[in-house]
Structure 1
Amino acid sequence: MRRSHLVPALCGAALLVCGVAAPAAAQTVDRNDPAGDAPARIDITKVRYTHLSDRVRVAAKIPDLGPSGTADLLVSRYEIFEAGYVVRIRQHRGQPAKVSLLYYDHFSLRKRTCKGISGSWGPEVVRLKVPRSCLKGHATKHVFAQFVIAFGAGGEQFDEAPAVTRLRRS
């Protein structure tokens, strides 16, 4: 009889230790975006924002994603995008995608250098990641995050996914 009590107790103790030692889960927020509110090649239908202890990332579903365009992940410490960082991916037909980091200060976008930013374009999904270490002054416990995609000269055709105003870090 004593043995049957010992096994559950050991399992419970192991779970408790593992639970305490395991890192906290990241906050992930899914947002749906209505279909048909933008041209099909940039029409976002779903977006997933994640705020990890070491990075912020987004994955946006665009079922008929075109072969070219520009997409941005906006990240800021403010509850609206007053100032902050833009992780930008540019895709030109037949060429590798280029990812860059920019800083917006109410007046202009300025290019920043930071290792570890990454992104991918297609099929049907655009992904962007930025290390929190790149978000100087904006890597707070809660961040504003929004995904935007555009194409055409000057980005005249675009679709904005619903933002998350307080995406919590794990």
Structure 2
Amino acid sequence: MKRVLLAIAAATLVLGGTATPAAAESGSVSDPSGDAPARIDITRLKVDNDKRWFTMRVDVQDLRQKGIFHFHYWRGTSGVPMQSLIVVVKRIDGETRARFFACGFEDCRPETCPRLRARWRSDTDFVRISAPQRCYPRPRTRPDAPPPAAGQFFVYSRLGKGAVDDHEEQVELQRG
């Protein structure tokens, strides 16, 4: 859990990067290859923020069979929201595993997200997640609240103890 909280803190710093607003339900940002340490180098983040589903995909130069990716989805288009989510994807013994976390200002807790899907394709150099919008955390006082109308999407990756590629740009999208 401490690592997840550190990831949120690191992501907050990353948000100081250039934002790429989009008025549509889909968007992407590119990152030059060769600018990341070690062996994980994110070259593009693509997001679809549909009415019922959201999908995030990262293209990675020479994706290997190990590493960890943290996919972030924050409510709104500015600042740190009261609710957000993180999907952590990693490869363990040749299998892709994903964990879903619902986050508040200071904590993240594992939650279930029915129909969460994660795909790790080393042969075509991408990792993708997809989940229903209904998995987005709701305020405890309003559990029937709708998912956010707009969101900030960003990702970072890790390999070993220190090889991190902080993809500095985020995608801001309205929901389709």
Which range, TM-score by smaller chain?
0.7 to 0.9
Residues 35-80 of structure 1, C-alpha deviations (whole Å, 9 max, x = no match): 2221353101111111011111111110211211111210111424
Partner of 2:16: none
Aligned length: 141
Partner of 2:114: 115
Identity between Structure 1 and Structure 2 (%): 22
Partner of 1:105: 104
CA contact (8 A) 1:81 1:144 kept: no
Partner of 2:158: 150
RMSD between aligned residues = 1.9
Higher share in helix? 1
CA contact (8 A) 1:40 1:64 kept: no
More relative contact order, 1 or 2 (CA 8 Å, 6+ apart): 2
Correspondence list, 1:31-110, <5 A? 31-39=29-37, 41-78=39-76, 79-82=78-81, 83-92=83-92, 94-110=93-109
* 1:126 matched to 2:127: yes
After TM superposition, give the deviation of residue 127 of structure 1 in Å: 0.4
The one-letter amino acid paired with 1:160 is D
1:81/1:71 CA distance change after superposition, 3 Å: farther
CA contact (8 A) 2:57 2:126 kept: yes
The one-letter amino acid paired with 1:146 is F
Give the TM-score, by structure 2 length.
0.73
Distance 1:74 1:81 in 2: 12
Distance 2:170 2:34 in 1: 18
Partner of 1:21: none
Farther off after superposition, 75-84 or 58-67 = 75-84
1:126/1:51 CA distance change after superposition, 3 Å: same
After TM superposition, give the deviation of residue 31 of structure 1 in Å: 0.4
CA contact (8 A) 1:102 1:111 kept: yes
Q: Structure 2 regions of 5+ residues with no counterpart? A: 1-23, 139-145
CA contact (8 A) 1:41 1:62 kept: no
Distance 1:152 1:104 in 2: 24
After TM superposition, give the deviation of residue 81 of structure 1 in Å: 4.4
Which structure has the bigger radius of gyration?
1
